Structure 1
Amino acid sequence: MSTDGGGGLVLVVEHDPAVAELQRRYLAREGFDVEIEPDPARAPAAAVRGRPDVVVLDLSTSALPADLYRRVSEAARPAPVIAVTGPMDPALGRALGEHRVDRPFGPRVLVGAVAEALRSGTAAEAQGPLRAGALALDPGSRTAVTGDHRVTLTVTEFDLLEFLMGNPGRVYTREQLLDAVWGPGAGAGSRTVDVHVAQLRAKLGEGNPIRTVRGVGYVLDA
């Protein structure tokens, strides 16, 4: 995945050539190799071809930013993706992962975000898979496997399951799960948690470890 550059390879998906060149110069100064893709529609293919260590993905002009983010994240996995956005609804922002930079921003902010994304990605890989019975969840590659069957999860489903598996045996209210997974002030109601838990249970099958605690919320049985 990494190149001969000291910092690794950064795929910059940016429609504005002047902004892309500024980002390239600042990242190169910090020892990163940089590949620029001006067309967001070609970003998934560029991620598969280049196998970058991190992706900087401009979503400010995308009509379907969450869908583009998902496709690029899947193509670039396990590399982290930094979403570059304008003002947006907090719930949509949560769907764009933990690494975000809001426009306008200075190039030093971007360099810091790239370094932080690489550090968190390394920590996730070092952590290794989380396990609960036959279910294994790998935060580094963002994959879930139950038995010998790979489970396809949305970004939010994965984040919810990762949070519960990282805190086995502890009961959480719906409000606590909303804050932890969707973020404070996301505007989602408690019914949102119920819907996502139901979707997870359906995908995980009979061996799913999420249990309802009547009148309180949910707990994951390790």
Structure 2
Amino acid sequence: MKPMIMVVEDEAALVTVLHYNLEKEGYRVCEASDGEEALTVAAENAPDLVILDWMLPMMSGIEVCRQLRRKPRHREVPIIMLTARGEEGDKVRGLNTGADDYMTKPFSMPELLARVRALLRRSAAVPSKGVLEFDDIQMDLNAHRVTRGGRYIHLGPTEFRLLQFLMQNPGSVFSREELLNAVWGPDIYVEPRTVDVHIRRLRKALNEDDGTDVIRTVRAAGYALDHKFPAEPADGTLSATL
């Protein structure tokens, strides 16, 4: 069955353009014009990807994203945030809420379609099976579950893939660009600083009840999964030194 794309946008003219171009690419399309309707439409249609406007009536796109990520059915669904807000802080906030990608209006339709294709390819990839272990962290790929010292760790889909890649390559240092290619895919157009946001989120989740860190920042090089050492501050990744 063709993938279902949910467009959540209150600008009628833009909805028409998106609907036309997505259907032309072979996708099925469902629509919502406000935040509350978006949650209802998502529950009824189980979209494979969501294109979500930031500024919506009834409920903001940020809150819609947050609520979708709380539902097991939608936890892994790729979300592209559309907004007129182009400041770096807004991008970070959108990514921190659980969005997979971010585009500032006005945007290129061919670029948006390329990002849709890349995210759908990534989400459709057959996951690896088995269990990965590093120190006291255990990742069950079959159950899509991470624990540390027996404590369940809640991770978003991007943080899960990021940790999986690092656990499959312990001790190796990877630059932002290498992590983008490995975790997001070579066809995704994401700023390298996006990696810092997700590293910070991953660190916060892993270190919530522990005073040690397993993600090492290597000055001017990148990040590595390494044996325990004192945790860095929860609000930073020392990204300025990379």
Q: Do these two structures clear the TM 0.5 threshold for a shared fold by scoring above it? A: yes
* Greater relative CO (CA pairs within 8 A, separation 6+): 1
* Distance change >3 Å, CA 199–CA 74, structure 1 → 2: closer
Does residue 81 (structure 1) correspond to residue 83 (structure 2)? The answer is: no
CA distance in 2, matches of 1:156, 1:116: 14
CA distance in 2, matches of 1:93, 1:169: 30
Task: Output the amino acid matched with 2:84.
Answer: G
CA distance in 1, matches of 2:10, 2:133: 43
Give the 5 Å matches for 1:94-105. Answer: 94=92, 95-96=94-95, 97-105=99-107
Give the 5 Å matches for 1:1-222. Answer: 4=1, 7-61=2-56, 66-75=62-71, 76-94=74-92, 95-96=94-95, 97-123=99-125, 125-127=126-128, 131-133=132-134, 135-136=138-139, 144-146=145-147, 150-153=152-155, 161-162=163-164, 164-170=166-172, 184=192, 193=200, 197=203, 199-202=205-208, 210=214, 219-221=225-227
* Distance change >3 Å, CA 185–CA 119, structure 1 → 2: closer
CA distance in 1, matches of 2:131, 2:205: 20
Write the deviation string for residues 169-212 of structure 1: whole angstroms up to 9, x where unpaired.
Answer: 2368xxx68x96996567x89xx95x963552235x69x88277
> What TM-score do you get using the length of structure 1 for normalisation?
0.65
Task: Check whether the contact 2:31–2:41 (CA below 8 A) recurs between aligned residues.
Answer: no
CA distance in 1, matches of 2:82, 2:26: 21
Number of matched residues? 204
What residue ranges of structure 1 are gaps of 5+ in the alignment?
Answer: none
Post-superposition offset of 1:100: 2.4
Task: Output the amino acid matched with 2:82.
Answer: V
Write the deviation string for residues 54-96 of structure 1: whole angstroms up to 9, x where unpaired.
Answer: 1111114588654432323444232211111223332442442
> What TM-score do you get using the length of structure 2 for normalisation?
0.61
Identity of aligned residues (%): 23
* Distance change >3 Å, CA 28–CA 210, structure 1 → 2: same
* Distance change >3 Å, CA 198–CA 117, structure 1 → 2: closer
* Distance change >3 Å, CA 101–CA 212, structure 1 → 2: closer
Q: What is the RMSD computed on CA atoms of the aligned residues? A: 4.4
CA distance in 1, matches of 2:60, 2:131: 31
